[in-house]
Structure 1
Amino acid sequence: MTDPALLYPLGLHLAGRPVTVVGGGAVAARRASGLVLVGAIVTVVAPEAGPELRSLVRNGALTWRARPYASGDLDGAWLAHTATGVPEVDAQVAADAEAARLWCVTASDHRGSAAWVPAVARRDAVTVAVSAGGDPRRAMALRDAIATALDAGSLPLRHHRRAEGAGTVHLVGGGPGDPGLITVRGRRLLAEADVVIADRLGPRSLLGELSAEVLVIDVGKLPGHHPVPQDEINALLVEHALAGSRVVRLKGGDPFVLGRGGEEAEYCRSHGVPVEIVPGVTSAISVPAAAGIPVTHRGVAGGFTVVTGHEQIAGLPGGADHTVVLLMGVSALAGSAGVLAAGSRGGGCPVAIIEDGYGLNQRVTIGTLDTIAAQAGARGVRSPAVIVVGDVVSLSPYADPTIQFASPVPRNAVPRKALT
């Protein structure tokens, strides 16, 4: 029996080197697939092969000898894996490998195997390998816990050496602001960043969790006040990437939904900087959801349009059964409501304004196209806010006639009382 305390961890470069896998079942298929991924020249020996192995054979990824194991099948191999499910066959393969001074992983004998395969997780250039004394389930559980922590950004993944040559830019959609609503990929990239260029909206609380070595540049815009113009933001992205930094452009919502992400990506690519787009949860859908408003609903609305409140909206599809979502629309609310009311929707069409969606100060105001501007003025409605126009507003719990003006409530809570 192999003592787990005497295990010597080792990484193997198997690209271009022959490896023999004995067995045709699911375990052998996993072993063979992993070896193919690292570039090994894989030969499988088994009288029968399952669908996973047959798929690899059809794709030309490996060679299959459709017969029982025979002496000599390990000749020329750098490594052997045996997973036949038949202890006698696995023992023979292991004995032949031992005689040839060849490392062999024996799936049916974790304790006696000359070599073990750890539970592996890969994140970019980082490989995590966990061995748990021959207990594969325990190893996988630990591997999954570490991988989850890496994905959540709670373990350090930052590069401590700057890249040679140009770095990269990652346009990350941060969602509506709740740090729990950024994607796993986005959070991990944020944890790995050298430079973060951040908007005013999005999960800014995550910036406080970054290493002190990370350069954070605030380019947040307020209505009518853009302290860092867009052309300067573009230049900052390219400047830091060309210096070898991994740059994260942290944007609220989704970078390609009225967020000028397309312009930033084009500018970077035109200057030879590679760009990755990481989608985000757009506020156009998520913030209405925070108020219990679906932008589409069977029998109520079959489509929706997202526009900024700065645009001309007279040409939008008419009817209260087509939802309109206005972003950045508070300052132009009176004009937008008037244009929409003059169309086929009419002044009685329901309207909702959701301020600070998913934030601590989330507040919902319900009215109609005829009344909403006055209501917003009376309540001091401020940006950031999302405006929803259409019959779907009536589905919100805030739309109850006795709760037309909801008091500020935490996200995901029902209204506590009506304002009087």
Structure 2
Amino acid sequence: MTQQGKVHLIGAGPGDPELLTCKALRLLREADVVVQDRLVSPEIMALVPVATRRISVGKEAGHHCVPQERINEILVTLARQGLRVARLKGGDPLIFGRGSEEAEELAAAGIAYDYVPGITAAQGAACATGVALTHRGLATGVRYVTGHRAKDAELDLDWDSLVSPDTTLVVYMGAANMARIAVELMARGLPGTTRAMAVASATTPRQRVVTGRLDSIAGRAEGLSAPVLFVVGAVVSLYREGACGLPVSDWLERHGLAADA
């Protein structure tokens, strides 16, 4: 009888391989199979041994190549084959990563699993741009929300609760609905002059940053490729172009961590 395997729900962080945890790196190298999301950076995937089986289950707005229900089935099936499964997610598996949904399915099927935290996109983008999300005198708190609903459902956020001049608003997966979000916030009293920032592929060599006013940020950010983080609040004034360096492209070679041949 085949011994049952285990699924590790791993946060890959925002993209820079140096921000991956030691535990995550170890499990990636020990895994029999890696099931990765679309937004896991190529720099992270380069750490996976060449011989390791990989299954891409990436999803994007308007095009769900593998439904969540099917992803759940894949994880259960692989574990029942006795495999060590690394379920690799961008950022942190428990912050808009659906890690808990997959854990529920694994638990119901009697499959062993654990969580491996990762640096979430908001933290990565904040450090990569120098925009402190809770800078004293500019923000007394920070709020994380999603800018995209499952199955492309209507974005029905509690808009009134999101309007606060003393709180930094961070919108995950906000590119497609950036204009709508800006309009809704302004309709509820947030000034159009409020500072806003869109960050694409934070912490990677592909990082792009666009800043501006809330009433014009959507137009300025057109053309940014996912993943895009949308930040609204006075703390965006802290951004200075070129103040924070981007990771170098030859990181793997410099650290001797290129994928196994």
Tell me the TM-score normalised to structure 1 length. Answer: 0.55
Matched, 1:263 2:108: no
Mapping 1:18-417, distance limit 5 Å: 164-310=2-148, 311-313=155-157, 314-377=159-222, 380-398=223-241, 411=246
Partner Cα distance (1:254, 1:297) in 2:
23
Deviation at 1:396, TM superposition (A): 1.2
SS at match of 1:316: helix
Q: Report SS of the residue matched to 2:64.
A: coil
CA distance in 2, matches of 1:219, 1:213: 19
User: Which 10-residue stretch deviates more, 301-310 or 204-213?
Assistant: 204-213
Distance 1:373 1:242 in 2: 46
Give the counterpart letter for 1:411 in structure 2: L
CA distance in 2, matches of 1:206, 1:292: 23
1:366 aligns to what SS in structure 2? Answer: strand
Query: Which residue is equivalent to 1:93?
Result: none
> What's the Cα RMSD here?
1.9
Asked if structure 2 preserves the Cα contact closer than 8 Å seen for 1:196 and 1:217, the reply is yes
> What letter is aligned with 2:221?
A
For 2:160, what is the secondary structure of its paired residue?
coil
Q: Which is bigger in relative contact order (C-alpha 8 A, separation at least 6)?
A: 2
Task: Indicate how the Cα distance of structure 1 residues 223 and 392 shifts in structure 2: closer, same or farther if over 3 A, else same.
Answer: same
Alpha-carbon separation, structure 2, partners of 1:296 and 1:312: 26
- Cα 1:217–1:381 change in 2 (3 A) is same
Asked whether the 8 Å contact 1:288–1:386 carries over to 2, the reply is: no
Structure 1 position 212, deviation (Å): 4.0
CA deviation map 1:258-303 (0-9, x unaligned) = 1111100110011000111001000022113211111111111111
Distance (Å, rounded) in 2 between the aligned partners of 1:292 and 1:234: 37
CA-CA distance at 1:346 after TM superposition = 1.2
Unaligned ranges ≥5, structure 1? 1-162, 399-405, 414-420
Between 1:317-326 and 1:252-261, the stretch displaced more is 317-326
Q: Is the CA contact 1:178–1:202 (under 8 Å) kept in the aligned structure 2?
A: no
The one-letter amino acid of 1:312's match is: D
Judge which range, 325-334 or 163-172, deviates more.
163-172
**Which structure's CA Rg is the greater one?**
1
TM-aligned CA deviation for residue 205 of structure 1: 2.7
Rate the CA distance shift 1:412–1:243 in 2: closer, same or farther, 3 A: closer
Aligned pair count reads 240
CA distance in 1, matches of 2:27, 2:45: 12
* Distance of 1:410 and 1:299 partners within structure 2: 26
Q: Which residue identity does 1:361 align to in structure 2?
A: R
Paired with 1:207 and 1:396, the residues of 2 have a C-alpha distance of 30
Q: Aligned partners of 1:236, 1:177: CA distance in 2, in Å?
A: 24
Aligned residue type for 1:391: A
Matched AA of 2:156: Q
Equivalents in 2 of 1:171, 1:210: separation in Å?
A: 15
Report the CA distance between 1:213 and its aligned residue: 3.5
How many Å separate the matches in 2 of 1:208 and 1:376? 29
Cα deviations across residues 85-107 of structure 1 (Å, max 9, x unaligned)? xxxxxxxxxxxxxxxxxxxxxxx
Q: Distance in 2 between matches of 1:212 and 1:257?
A: 29
In 1, Cα distance between equivalents of 2:92 and 2:47: 22
Query: 2:4, 2:82 within 8 Å by CA — same for their partners in 1?
Result: yes
Shift of 1:222: 2.4
Identity, in percent, stands at 42
**d(CA) in 2 for partners of 1:396 and 1:316?**
26
Report the Cα distance in structure 1 between the residues aligned to 2:19 and 2:29, rounded to whole angstroms: 16
Q: Counterpart of 1:360 in structure 2: which amino acid? A: P
Q: Distance in 2 between matches of 1:185 and 1:164?
A: 26
2: CA distance between counterparts of 1:236 and 1:204? 22
1:386 Cα deviation after fit:
0.5
Cα distance, 1:226 vs structure 2? 1.3
Question: TM-score when scaled to structure 2?
Answer: 0.86
Moved over 4 A (4+): none
